[in-house]
């Protein structure tokens, strides 16, 4: 019924689909998580509400990466430059500026990488739950099979009287 080439292609397609995993951001994310826990978690949460400073859930989608870099690396300079976002945050949090942490550029980038990875995990977890994938794959296989049977049956000549 199915040609060997079609079977091989379908098997390859579904094997790749099943084995597909989220991209691993590697070591920078792990380092960023550790830096966040050591330096940031005492004032900020991610998705758990305001602590001393703002909740950082979704911050990498709301702010440009260059601004985040400067805010983490040199928050006082942003205030001195009268950056509107920094001034607004200062006013919202009772004129309590963010503390300069003395982080290196690579450490700041690692923290941003960690914040991005958290957002990706949240967006993935709000998508289709992983336990539905076998059902979806089986449904697709059945649809393809029924379609192929229908196409094959459609080639028969029918004598209509």
What is the number of structural domains in the chain? 1
- Give 110-145 pLDDT, tens digit per residue: 999 999 998 877 655 455 666 778 888 899 999 998
Would residue 2 count as lying in a domain? no
Q: Domain span at residue 90? A: 22-129
Q: Determine contact, residues 35/104, Cβ cutoff 8 Å.
A: no
* Domain at 63, CATH number: 1.10.760.10
Would residue 122 count as lying in a domain? yes
Would residue 161 count as lying in a domain? no
- Give 14-44 pLDDT, tens digit per residue: 656 555 544 444 577 889 999 999 999 999 9
Would residue 73 count as lying in a domain? yes
Write out the two tokens for 139.
């449904």
**CB 71: neighbour CB atoms within 10 A?**
20
Would residue 7 count as lying in a domain? no
User: Count of residues for the chain?
Assistant: 161
The span from the CA of 58 to the CA of 22, in Å, is: 19
């Amino acid at each position: 019924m199915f040609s060997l080439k079609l079977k091989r292609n379908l098997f390859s397609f579904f094997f790749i689909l099943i084995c597909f995993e989220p991209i691993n951001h590697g070591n920078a994310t792990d380092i960023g998580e550790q830096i966040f826990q050591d330096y940031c978690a005492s004032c900020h949460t991610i998705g758990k509400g305001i602590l001393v400073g703002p909740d950082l859930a979704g911050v990498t989608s709301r702010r440009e990466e260059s601004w985040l870099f400067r805010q983490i690396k040199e928050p006082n300079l942003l205030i001195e430059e009268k950056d509107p976002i920094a001034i607004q945050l200062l006013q919202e949090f009772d004129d309590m500026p963010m503390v300069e942490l003395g982080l290196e550029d690579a450490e700041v980038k690692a923290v941003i990488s960690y914040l991005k990875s958290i957002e990706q995990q949240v967006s993935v977890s709000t998508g289709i739950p992983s336990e539905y994938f076998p059902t979806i794959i089986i449904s697709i296989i059945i649809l393809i099979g029924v379609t192929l049977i229908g196409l094959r049956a459609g080639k028969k000549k029918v004598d209509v009287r």
